[in-house]
Amino acid sequence: MVREWLPKTLWFEQPFLHQTSKPRPGMPEPKCMNFHKDFFKCAEPIGRKRAEKECRLQLEDLWECANGDKLREKRRTILKQRSKLIKEGKYTIPDSPKTVIV
C-alpha cells in the first residue's frame, strides 16, 4: 500500500508521534525512534520538495513501524492460506504437547 507522501496535517499532530518521541532517562527508547531519526536525517538538509522523492523509503519504513500495515496484511494472508489448506485437508493443526517443559 503506497501512502500519499506527507500527510496534510503537521507532524506534531500525528497519532504515532508518541512512539517516536524523545527518549527519557531510565526508560527504553521509543519504538520507532531509529526510523524517525533516519527520515529526518535524510529530509532535513534537502527540504520538503526534494525529500518527497529522495527520502520516500525512510518515510515508508517510519509509517510501517508506527502503523504496522504491511505486517497485518501479511498475517492476514498467511491465516487465509492456512484456513484454505485446512478446508482442503492438506494441513492439520498440530496437537498441543501433553507435557510442559519449564
**Is this structure's pTM higher than 0.85?**
no
3-46 pLDDT, tens per residue? Answer: 555 555 444 445 554 555 566 677 777 788 889 889 989 998 99
- Average per-residue pLDDT in the chain? 79
Residue among 69, 75, 78, 62 at smallest CA distance from 30: 62
Cα–Cα distance for residue pair 62/11, rounded to 1 Å: 12
3-class secondary structure, 82: helix
What pLDDT does 10 receive? 45
Nearest CA to 54 out of 69, 34, 38, 65 is that of 38
- Per-residue model confidence (pLDDT) at position 12: 45
Q: What is the pLDDT of residue 23?
A: 62
pLDDT the model gives residue 13: 45
